[in-house]
Structure 1
Amino acid sequence: MLNELHVNQIYRNLLHGQWVESTSGKTIAVRSPVDDSVVGHIQAMTQSEVDQAIADTKVALKTWALRPMSERADILYRAADLLEENADEIARIMAMEIGKTLPSSQNEVIRSAEFIRFTADAGQNIEGETISGDKFPGGSMNKLSIVTASPIGTVLAISPFNYPVNLTVSKVAPALIGGNACIMKPPTQGAISALCLAEMFRQAGLPDGVLNTVTGKSSEIGDYLTTHPGINFINFTGSTKTGRHISGLAGMVPQILELGGKDPAIVLEDADLKKTAQLITVGAYSYSGQRCTAVKRVLAVGSIGDELARYLTLEVEALKSGHPMEEGVTITPLISSEAADYVQGLIDDALAKGAVLLSGNRREGNLLYPTLLDQVTPDMRIAWEEPFGPVLPILRVSSAEEAIRLANESQYGLQASVFTNHIDKAFTIANRLEVGTVQINNKPERGPDHFPFLGVKDSGMGTQGIRYAIEAMTRPKAIVVTIRPELVNPVEDTPVTEGQGESEIS
């Protein structure tokens, strides 16, 4: 099913329904973080080819935007079915391309198919509205506004390495159901998995040019894409540094930016510490901590520090590290040696400043074994910086008030968790945390995908979540009907009292 994507492991780009090679003649090797083997080669597109891809969407938009919602939905349903049918093959590619475990890769593909189906459902359930003029003071029953949703144009979807299928689907599917066209820009690591997704939409019957893909070096086409006058909306997931850069360049182009996080888990003294430790461990170390919603620090309140640290140590030491294809593995090699170096630097800084090592601090190439640090203090980098790796710091605080203060002093505001057996305490703390989402007695996580997903401060702007994303990538269009034009004053634009004639209007 995926054979048309590549020739001899050279993957091409989708342009007007065809898989084509770049005129540059250049490709970029996608190397596995697991063993440095070449998974495949992707095209290094030129700026003129970016122009062509965007121009092609403008032609396709003219007819796609006029397609009935039911027809757009049918194509999305077929794409979801095809994605499920090819889940095992795409998951195997993903496991080697980004080092994600095979079960997690399979789950990502299946979840993405479900996302597409729900998006098709949601699109068909979004209704317009009619507004009577007499609802506004001094208004008239003579006017009626019919409000519908119109596509915003060409959407640039930029996805990250860690969820190359799901975080591409979360941008593309809502854009398409809203009648938009898309330019898909995947990361180098993860590009092949994302191109497989594009093939599913092509096979599903998406009209030529509605979805085009762009791959290449960010230094050559990155800024060119985000400042291109043909781009009408930017939907980006990635680092805060890159998000700020894009936002500064894009100016008035509307955007959704899903950026970094430093998600705290606040654990109160009345929490079930054993269960809490289990949830925190899953939240912190799944996919080696390479998740924006990973638990990135524990704020242990009061006297529970020793007991919580003991439970966490038991959980962390039970984690299995190794190859993503091995059964039962949680910790796999990080995406690059640079990423591993950065995480190791955070660990070294904390230990040099007095943190206590409870587990880990072993490294084999890009593979960092799960590391747990206790007695971490605010002067350590790990207390504030996002590691994007398998390390978890425990900060001991004297009160819930101190925990709230430390949580809110972060530059990030994505998610937070509060663990307690008292719901009133949970809501009191939740209402004071400066984040997009607070999880009560659960780890931070994305989804279910129809829930709003957003960050504040340096964690982003705009709201993901299926309905919210559809609404963001469409705009209201109002058509005002004057029911009885003869009753409108042509000078003052005010209604004429029933029974008055033209000669009576002064």
Structure 2
Amino acid sequence: MQSRPFFVAGRPVHGDGELTVHHPYDGRAVGRTTHATPEQVEAAVAAAAAVATEAAALPAHVRAAALDHVSRRLAERADETARLITAENGKPLKWARAEVGRAVSTFRWAAEEARRFTGDLQRLDTDPTATGRIALVRRVPRGPVLGITPFNFPLNLVAHKVAPALAVGAPIVVKPAPATPLTALLLGELLAETGLPEGVFSVLPLPNERAAGLVADPRLPVVSFTGSGPVGAAVRRAAPEKHVTLELGGNAAAVICEDWNTDEDLTYAAHRIATFANYQAGQSCIAVQRVYVHEWLYDAFLPRLVAAVEQLRLGDPADETTDVGPLISVQAAERVESWVDEAAVAGATIEVGGRRDGSSYPPTVLTGAPADAKVNTEEVFGPVLVVTRVAHDRAAFAAVNDSAYGLQAGVFTHRVDVAFAAARALDVGGVIVGDVPSYRADQMPYGGTKGSGVGREGVRSAMDDYTEPRVLVLTGVQV
């Protein structure tokens, strides 16, 4: 099995300390690369710092053309890329294909944003002392970006670091998750085809414990991290003088409101919730984890949800018919198992699921789980749903907010007033009305409150995070 190169300042290289990637489903080796040496890491950071001024001055058409090229090449290599995602991540092939499609869109959208990232013109003669003055406010890169990415979306979450950086002209150094580096290296191949200046991008496979040096390096003034809350908090503490953006996940909730009460309504909600609690084996920051159901709808809704979950097929992620694949590791599945067992001992009922098989854990529905059980309070990051009866919509909104996290929430209602009430009441980054909290459009602002992080992803929002305003005031101008 040939070892894939990684990229230092845009050039393919090999390091030392072989890294073998194993399939989460059956443990077989699916690819190899090497770890970057300290000297290669230094070369990547030095090159990013050296090229920063040149990168910021690249014409918009050059940046946009590079992004368009990556988008087009990803589309051309879609099947190969999806199969690589499935091999190293374990998500079912149909969801890997969806991830590739989103990444194609993310780079295309970034190309469009690069062309219209122009700034604002402000007249200043609103005050007599400023007659004859006008201001041009543009956003300029803060400097090179360090992008640290997780295993659960090994392509599109890398794209959400790389594409906005290239769109604004900021060099970027990517450290992919050790469990899933191969897809990021394939993306590096496509970036290397663009002819961007040397140093604009590097992709460095590194053990997590070696990331601290990159986080601390003053030549990387922007750190964009997606991953677990404790690690994100450590990143923020380690870089108090840097511009840090964190997407730290959550325990996303869906609310079935009183007016969502027809057979068709309840069946639709059950299927959407069942699908998006389990679509990445629950390993999505906005996978449905908690469900709050109006008390007079509970008895009609729960059997529909259990039936929809039972219909999901658990198995080999390379099979086109598989709905739910393995977790990223046996250890991850064991942790999910322990949390469910703990809830059951505390009084929860396992309505369906609950029996681990290696790295696979079946789609599971719990009822009667104590409010302080880990399956309610923490991010399970596994295929587990907790269903709770509530007296009214206000109680449901309060229960959603009774969490250390606040990423997104889904509110099943037909009423505009209830939708606005939810948006006002819920302390989350996004409220999805009429659907699950798992909906995300890659151009919209995406992020959360409380323990779910700081800053926003989404192409234009990340472009703003990677830049700062610079004002040019012209004097003696007739407006």
Q: TM-score, normalised by structure 1?
A: 0.91
Does residue 327 (structure 1) correspond to residue 320 (structure 2)? The answer is yes
Size of the aligned set, in residue pairs, is 473
Q: Secondary structure at the match of 2:326?
A: coil
> Would the aligned equivalents of 2:102 and 2:442 in 1 still touch at CA under 8 Å?
no
Q: Which residue of 2 aligns with 1:373?
A: 366
Counterpart residue number, 1:410: 403
State the one-letter code of the partner of 2:150.
Answer: P
1:276 to 250, 269, 290: 269
Structure 1 residue 127: deviation in Å? 2.2
- Of the candidates 142, 152, 161, which is equivalent to residue 132 of structure 2? 142
Residue of 42, 59, 64 corresponding to 2:55: 64
Give the corresponding residue for 1:456.
449
**1:464 & 1:258 partners in 2: Cα distance?**
8
Query: What is the Cα deviation at residue 138 of structure 1?
Result: 4.3
Pick one of 171, 196, 218 that aligns with 1:229.
218
Return the match for 2:198 from 202, 208, 213. 208
Q: Please name the residue that 2:114 is paired with.
A: 123
Q: Do 2:184 and 2:203's aligned partners in 1 also have CA atoms closer than 8 Å?
A: no
The answer for the alignment partner of 1:493 in structure 2 is none
Whether the aligned pair in 2 keeps the contact of 1:133 and 1:139 (CA below 8 Å) is no
2:82 matched to which residue of 1? 91
Counting only pairs closer than 5 Å after superposition, residues 82-481 of structure 1 correspond to structure 2 as 82-135=73-126, 137-219=127-209, 221-271=210-260, 272-481=265-474
SS at match of 2:286: coil
Give per-residue Cα distances to partners, 1:432-483, cap 9 Å, x unaligned: 0100001111011253212111100000111111211112112222222232
**Structure 2 SS opposite 1:313:** helix
Cα pair 2:123 2:135 within 8 Å, conserved: yes
Amino acid at match of 2:212: D
Query: Could you report, residue by residue, the CA deviation over 1:132-179 in whole angstroms, capped at 9, with x for unpaired residues?
Result: 3322x3432233322222122110111111111101111111111101
- Assess if the C-alpha contact under 8 Å between 2:288 and 2:438 holds in 1: no
Q: Distance in 2 between matches of 1:461 and 1:215?
A: 25
Provide the rounded CA distance (Å) in 2 between the counterparts of 1:464 and 1:72: 19
CA contact (8 A) 2:20 2:29 kept: yes
Moved more, 101-110 or 170-179: 101-110
The AA in structure 2 aligned to 1:103 is K
Structure 2: runs of 5 or more not aligned = none
* Contact residue 377 and residue 395 of structure 1 kept, 8 A: no
**C-alpha deviation, 1:47, in angstroms:** 3.1
1:396-445 residue CA offsets vs partner (Å, 9 max, x unmatched): 12222222222111000001111123221232123101000011110112
Secondary structure of the corresponding residue to residue 256 of structure 1 = strand
SS of aligned partner of 2:164:
helix
Q: 1: CA distance between counterparts of 2:310 and 2:439?
A: 26
Mapped partners of 2:475, 2:348: distance in 1: 72
Is 1:48 paired with 2:73? no
Per-residue Cα deviation, 1:250-286 (whole angstroms, up to 9, x for no partner): 1121121111111111112321211111111112111
Conserved in 2, the CA contact under 8 Å of 1:128 and 1:146? yes
Q: Secondary structure at the match of 1:377?
A: coil
Contact kept in structure 1, 2:229 and 2:451, CA below 8 Å: yes
Cα deviation 1:356-394 (Å, max 9, x = unaligned): 121111221011111111222313221111111111111
Amino acid across the alignment from 2:253: P
Change beyond 3 A, Cα 1:129–1:398 = closer
Q: Quick check: 1:60–1:208 contact (8 Å CA) kept in 2?
A: yes
Separation (CA, whole Å) in 2 of partners of 1:205 and 1:445: 36
* Stretch deviating more after TM superposition (301-310 or 9-18): 9-18
Partner of 1:33: 24
Q: Distance in 2 between matches of 1:101 and 1:431?
A: 36
Shift of 1:16: 2.8
CA contact (8 A) 1:131 1:144 kept: yes
For 2:292 and 2:140, the matched residues in 1 are separated by: 46
Partner of 1:75: 66
2:69 corresponds to which letter in structure 1?
A: R
CA contact (8 A) 1:376 1:396 kept: no
List aligned pairs for 1:480-495, cutoff 5 A: 480-483=473-476
Preserved CA contact (<8 Å) 1:132 1:141 = no
Superposed CA RMSD: 1.5
Letter in 1 for 2:182: I
SS in 2 for 1:55: helix
Is the Cα contact below 8 Å between 2:258 and 2:392 reproduced in 1? no
Contact 1:309–1:374 (Cα < 8 Å) also in 2: no
Which TM-score applies when normalising by structure 2?
A: 0.96
Query: The residue matched to 1:454 in structure 2 has which SS?
Result: coil
Larger Rg: 1
Pair 56,446 (structure 1): closer, same or farther in 2 beyond 3 Å: farther
Identical residues among aligned pairs (%): 34
- Alignment partner of 2:371: what SS? coil
Q: What SS class does the counterpart of residue 27 from structure 2 fall into?
A: coil
The amino acid that maps onto 1:140 is A
Secondary structure at the counterpart of residue 425 of structure 2: coil
- The separation in 1 between residues aligned to 2:46 and 2:115, in whole angstroms, is 28
